[in-house]
Structure 1
Amino acid sequence: MPPATAAAAAPSERLSPQTRRTAWIVSSIFFVEQLDATSVASALPAMAAELQTDAVTLSATITAYLLGLTILIPLSGRLAERYGDKKVFTGAIWLFLASSIACGLAPSASILIALRFVQGMAGALMAPVGRLIVLRAAAKHEIVEAMALVILLAMIAPMVGPFLGGLLTTYVGWRWIFWINGPLCLAALWLVWRYLPATEGRQEGTFDVRGTLLTGAGFACLMWGLVSLADAQVRSGPAAVALAAGGLLLAAYVRHARRTAAPVLALDLLAVRSFRDAMASGSVFRIAVGGVPFLLPVTLQQRDGYSPLEAGLVVLIPAAGGFAMKFFSGKILRRTGYRKGLFLHGLMAAACLAVAGLVPPRDVLPAYAAMLLGFGWARSLQMNAFGTLAYADVGRARLAAATSFFLAIQNLTVAMGVAAAASLLRGGAAIGAGGTAFYSWVYLTLGAIALASAFMTLAMPRSAGQDLLQGNRAS
């Protein structure tokens, strides 16, 4: 092969300036959204005192946000196709800004909960449409690095959010948790207007109204049921009814989608092998690890006697491992390929999670910290790999549909992970009769689910995702 040809065939691991800038802008907006979502929990007692209610009642502000987030995600791709992705993204940021200011002015708990639902709806448009803008701006071989960059700042927000929420609540009041979004969103809007590429919308065609109602209501029922299962204050009966209703509504949607030319969620994407594989094994993996941010602090405080501050600091360890991985995921996947990389890091995540449940942190903290660091490292690669493999064989014309579908299932399976961890803890506590050995079994069970996901990846073809790992900027 001539030198020039060899150079052209070599994969480039550097992003073009336009792609890098686009990914950074979208990442910064995701940071603002995640910062708001994670800082509220720290302020619940102060919010409850001022609004003359209790913290348990105000925990509905978190649930309302999740419900709003769930309902509109299926529709986000259709809106972007019809009106243009940049226009919808800008509108979502304005809605998030307005609802944030209104949350800070809320005079009662019921109004605050309703406004948090609106905030969630704005987030439901920001997340998928922001990803869509990056996917359309990036060349095939840039997608792995670009998507790693997109979620980089969003990974920092959960580390900063609880601390910032407590700081603002202590010194200037809880309402500033929402008002601080004002200048951040205005800066984001200027960056979007100035730098982000735009795709023109297509005004022809009609919305799948019936499908939108079925998917929105179905996902909302499932999300509420899963959140309720994770909440010890809610009885299991209503949660079971909500889960059954959600299942029936989505089953009705499947039947509807087969008879509709342009359904709101394109189920025919499951015929694409890479998309189907990423959805299947990725969903199992998210069920295994989705509840870990909830499980770790509970275990450290209830089993090991850590203070909330100490537990919060330990929880930063897997976050640090995941943050570090974002700089290496593209290089690792190019060296191993998707199938091998997913299998090996799935094994690593499962082993580290299981061992972390067995190691007493007060006795052997370095070994415990190493397991958490390794878990965070492996989990980060899995999330990025599944999140990019889904688009490997999806044409650009179908990126919007694929993004809506993927993120709707992603949110649902993460909630399933939280519900699974909470249910295992409650079940273990009931059987354990006051002992603490059941904590280890919870970790082992989740590790086994992660292990199942790793072995599912072996069914992928060896060539899975190769188009994302090869090519050059000219391509």
Structure 2
Amino acid sequence: MPANAPDAPLDRKVPMIIGCALFMELLDATAVLTALTQIANDFGEASVRMNLIVSLYLLAAAIFIPISGWLAERFGPRRVFITAICLFMLCSLACALSASLLQLSLARFCQGASGALMVPVGQIILLRSTSKANLMRAMAFLTMPALLGPVLGPPLGGLLVTALSWHWIFLINLPIGLLGIVLVLRNVPAYGGLPQHNLDKVGFMLSSAALASLMLAFESLGHGQLLGGYWPAALLASGLVLGALYVCHARHSPAPLLNLSLLRIHTFGIVLLGGTVFRLGSASLPFLLVLLFQLGFGLSALHAGLLTFAGGAGALFIKFISVRLVRRFGFRRILVCNALVGAGCMALCGLLRPDTGLLLTLLLLFTGGVSRSLQMSTLGALGYADVSRELAGQASTLSAMSVQLGMSLAVCIAALLLGWIQRINGHSLPTLEDIGLTMAVVSLLSVLSGLIFSRLRQDSGQAVASG
């Protein structure tokens, strides 16, 4: 029986395997942040220049995300997925063997390009191998290992840097990647490609240039460079102009690279907009929590990272009951109410103090992890509920693009707000009150996402929820 037949049982191995590849990418992206100081010392470079390691990774991801769906449709998603893992491993080895900042920066750019293919192509495989009825459960299993990456990244990175060296942050990807390739070859179906599927070259150049400009602008703004020159403003303006040119191009192209007509699908359009707004608030929480625990509480990087395990535990816990919750209450009610819960948890985190009981702190972080995890799984399933298999690749590319932009802009917004609040209060360094007020303001974005989700119909995603 085909895997996507209505009554086919869910093969948990496929979403778990894809999720493990995402785990590798997210683990690397977060763990490397803890090693920037040691890398700067080893290379004899100023710490401020280490931003290149992060910026070039994001730049490559922005450039290659638009083409990921086309590659999967043209050459087959499993082949592209395995190729992306292989390239990610080779680039990780190149990062570990780098002897200068230039070599490491080039290797990180290539690593970002290969990592950009994993999320959308992995989702295409999942959508092809899973029936609508099993989509909610599949998304839960997909995001389970992927959610552990950002949680384990900071403490694992701190441990590897302290006990061994920064090189092991990249070398650890090799055994994970090898295991992933073996499991993909054994368990993931080999869907064929479409030889006549031509590339929209103009659309690729416009969309990649627009995304790259916006990502670099957000990265610059997030590091407080808004008033440091015209460069971030020029990048932002360029990104908006190029994006507008792409929209004009897509309207007249018979086969645009990014199919914006998908936004007319009621559920997909609302999920994309509401999910992006929700991430603008929620994705900034790890950044703000690190500042809260290290600057406000005076904890070490390792101890601050260990506290985030509570959020990871909550994220894993809710996976086992998320499907039943959606079946009981429906997508619309879950998304609206959970957006408010997530906003409340973020605002309450801003009230934490060094003398707050450990149990209360862990409970709040656990609840926040539950909220974010449930929202991501629900959005992932509902977004594709009314998307046909033929359009799955294009929908996955649009979704990955919005996630990348949303998460980058989230840190930018949080950093800018914190800088403004800090200057208004006359503080040279962020204080507990500054960070707490920033969390409260950012949490309003999650409230706004709840208003967007309220536009969903009561029966939205019924075919998915009833599986």
Match of 1:395 in 2: 388
Match of 1:209 in 2: 201
Write the letter of the residue equivalent to 2:395.
A
**Mapping 1:100-139, distance limit 5 Å:** 100-139=92-131
Deviations 1:113-144 (A, max 9, x none): 01101101101111110111111111111111
Match of 1:285 in 2: 278
* Amino-acid identity (%): 37
Change (3 A) 1:167 1:359: closer
Change (3 A) 1:445 1:166: closer
Q: CA deviation at 1:268?
A: 0.4
Match of 2:437 in 1: 441
The answer to whether the 8 A contact 1:228-1:236 is kept is no
Mapped partners of 2:242, 2:15: distance in 1: 36
Deviations 1:180-202 (A, max 9, x none): 32232222212212221011101
Mapped partners of 1:147, 1:164: distance in 2: 26
Q: Is residue 309 of structure 1 aligned with residue 302 of structure 2?
A: yes
Q: CA deviation at 1:310?
A: 3.4
Q: 2:259 aligns with which of 229, 253, 266?
A: 266
Instruction: Give aligned pairs, total.
Output: 458
Match of 2:458 in 1: 462
Deviations 1:139-170 (A, max 9, x none): 11111111111121122222322333333334
**TM-score normalised by length of structure 1:** 0.92
**Mapping 1:21-32, distance limit 5 Å:** 21-32=13-24
SS of 1:258 mapped into structure 2? helix
SS of 2:133 mapped into structure 1? helix
Q: Is residue 60 of structure 1 aligned with residue 56 of structure 2?
A: no
Q: Is residue 452 of structure 1 aligned with residue 448 of structure 2?
A: yes
Match of 2:190 in 1: 198
Mapped partners of 1:274, 1:98: distance in 2: 39
Gaps of 5+ in 2: 1-5
Q: Is residue 37 of structure 1 aligned with residue 29 of structure 2?
A: yes
Deviations 1:165-224 (A, max 9, x none): 333334443223222322322222122122210111011132100100111111111111
**Mapping 1:325-404, distance limit 5 Å:** 325-404=318-397
Match of 1:79 in 2: 71
Change (3 A) 1:355 1:236: farther
**Mapping 1:387-426, distance limit 5 Å:** 387-426=380-419
CA RMSD of aligned residues (A): 1.9
Q: CA deviation at 1:63?
A: 1.7
Match of 2:3 in 1: none
SS of 2:353 mapped into structure 1? coil
Q: Using the TM superposition, name which of 154-163 and 383-392 deviates more.
A: 154-163
Write the letter of the residue equivalent to 2:166.
W
Write the letter of the residue equivalent to 1:193.
L
SS of 2:350 mapped into structure 1? helix
Q: Is residue 147 of structure 1 aligned with residue 131 of structure 2?
A: no
Change (3 A) 1:437 1:175: closer
Q: 1:70 aligns with which of 62, 65, 68?
A: 62
Match of 1:3 in 2: none
Gaps of 5+ in 1: 1-10
The answer to whether the 8 A contact 1:304-1:362 is kept is no
SS of 2:308 mapped into structure 1? helix
**TM-score normalised by length of structure 2:** 0.93
The answer to whether the 8 A contact 1:361-1:368 is kept is no
Mapped partners of 1:385, 1:157: distance in 2: 19
Deviations 1:47-78 (A, max 9, x none): 22222213321232122111111211111111
The answer to whether the 8 A contact 1:228-1:239 is kept is yes
Q: Using the TM superposition, name which of 234-243 and 323-332 deviates more.
A: 234-243
Write the letter of the residue equivalent to 1:451.
V
Change (3 A) 1:40 1:363: closer
The answer to whether the 8 A contact 2:158-2:301 is kept is no
The answer to whether the 8 A contact 1:155-1:319 is kept is yes
Write the letter of the residue equivalent to 1:449.
L
